Amino acid sequence: MKRDITVVTSVLKANDAVARDNRARLDRAGILALNITSAPGSGKTALLEATLPALAPQRAAVVVGDLQTSRDAERVAGLAAAVVQINTEGGCHLAATQVAEALDALPLEGLDFLFIENVGNMVCPAGFDLGEHRRVAMLSVPEGADKVAKYPTLFQPADLILLNKVDLAALLGYDVDLVRADLARLNTRAPLLLLSARTGEGLTAWLDWLRSERTARRG
Amino acid sequence: MKRDITVVTSVLKANDAVARDNRARLDRAGILALNITSAPGSGKTALLEATLPALAPQRAAVVVGDLQTSRDAERVAGLAAAVVQINTEGGCHLAATQVAEALDALPLEGLDFLFIENVGNMVCPAGFDLGEHRRVAMLSVPEGADKVAKYPTLFQPADLILLNKVDLAALLGYDVDLVRADLARLNTRAPLLLLSARTGEGLTAWLDWLRSERTARRG
């Protein structure tokens, strides 16, 4: 058992060192980086499809992590200043070294935001700092209202909680008060924003948060 | 790198040995065991809530895996012959040793089915045999139609593919043909069943499949 733990610790330490380098590099370029995590199909890519055009004239790049395919990258390719798809080949989260390689491939000059769409997974991405400035944990209405309590490692360290697909809340009898109650125990620091990437409902508050976080970071 | 791979291989080998023991034990008791995997919130527990009463007079037990909480176990507690909740404390999949402990705690005599509800995760559970006889991979309409191609390790070894929440397909413009096309490349062995645990649509075909698989296994 000790041996496994040693390996995991050294992997995390090495990851954190690269993450710090990524963050310093993003800071020098004046870019606010966001690490977006959720279950598969909660709507990370749909959120970016709605967000990227609305941020103009500010410019954003996207790094997309998936086990396989470049479908997510293709969806946002025409909307972002630049896109890098990372295929993890079975890996259940992005790591800082992969983001470092993506930064090498991106034209950082003139960018305002970097959105890092993590692998769809509510467990593995939690422990891996990618060098982001803000971590966004998303859940969506059709998944049920119990996800905050069931996946605390994802929601506890998040700086913002997004509840997507709220246009389906009435139809599915969604209990947003359960989400609020679980967050009251787990994470009272992060705001909870309700939105629908599909209908556009609630997007303004998300865009305002993005812009104010970037302004706060740059001073 | 070599060191990490050695550790992982030995973990998988040890897991497979325990899984074989679990399967032999289930065979002696005449129980058909199913390992149900999906993203968080695809409806594994809702499927069991609809399935367990409909299987009567056949009797089923449930093993539920979650990082935290016993909410899923509570939901099926009154419906199953017996329920065991396993909290993985951060682990992103169930392992055969955990199922072995659950089998110790279950009254196997007189059971027909064992449903193992894995941790909500489309990546990690794929490599871990739990001792099941059939592996069921579920996806759901609100997650989008691209999940088979994006999570091949989950769908390739599955014996049955369930597409849940089909009552939302028209509203969300779901493209089931994309799922079929991806499965045609990845897994032509497993049937694809469309259902809605919420409305009951399509449940009969799922129940028929369960009963015929159990009959085929027992001869």
CATH number, domain containing residue A58:
3.40.50.300
Beta bridge partners of B85: B64
CB contact under 8 A, B150 and A66: yes
Distance from the Cα of B56 to chain A's closest Cα (Å) equals: 27
Interatomic CA distance for residues B171 and B193, integer angstroms: 19
Please, are residues A163 and A133 in contact by the beta-carbon 8 Å criterion? no
Residue numbers in B near A165 (CB within 8 A)? 142
Residue numbers in A near B120 (CB within 8 A)? 39, 122, 150-151
Closest to A118 (Cα-Cα) out of A106, A132, A103: A132
Write down the pLDDT at residue B219: 59
Please, are residues A190 and A158 in contact by the beta-carbon 8 Å criterion? yes
Question: CB-based contacts of B73: which residues, under 8 Å, 6+ apart?
Answer: B62, B64, B83, B84, B85
Q: Using one digit for the tens of pLDDT, what is the confidence trace for B164-199?
A: 999 999 999 999 999 999 999 999 999 999 999 999
Q: Could you tell me the pTM of the whole model?
A: 0.92
Domain count, chain A: 1
Q: Which residues of A touch B (CB under 8 A)?
A: 3-4, 7, 11, 39-42, 66-69, 71, 90-92, 119-124, 139-144, 146-147, 149-153, 165, 168, 171
Q: Using one digit for the tens of pLDDT, what is the confidence trace for B142-153?
A: 999 999 999 999
CB contact under 8 A, B168 and A142: yes
**Which value does ipTM take for this structure?**
0.88
- Residue numbers of the domain that contains A99: 2-218
Residue B7 pLDDT exceeds 70 = no
Give me the phi and psi of A7, to 5 degrees please. Answer: -60, -50
Write down the pLDDT at residue B1: 37
Write down the pLDDT at residue A12: 83
Where chain A has pLDDT below 70, the residues are: 1-8, 219
Write down the pLDDT at residue A86: 96
Write down the pLDDT at residue A7: 62
Write down the pLDDT at residue A99: 97
**Alpha carbons within 13 A on the beta-carbon side of B139:** 28
ω into B125 cis (within 30 of 0): no
Give me the phi and psi of B139, to 5 degrees please. Answer: -130, 170
Average pLDDT of B76-87?
Answer: 96
Q: Using one digit for the tens of pLDDT, what is the confidence trace for B121-163?
A: 999 999 999 999 999 999 999 999 999 999 999 999 999 999 9
Query: Of B40, B119, B147, which has the smallest distance from its Cβ to A147's Cβ?
Result: B40
CA angle B69, B72, B78 (to 5 degrees): 125
CA angle A166, A70, B163 (to 5 degrees): 50
Cα dihedral across residues B77, B19, A93, A187: positive or negative: positive
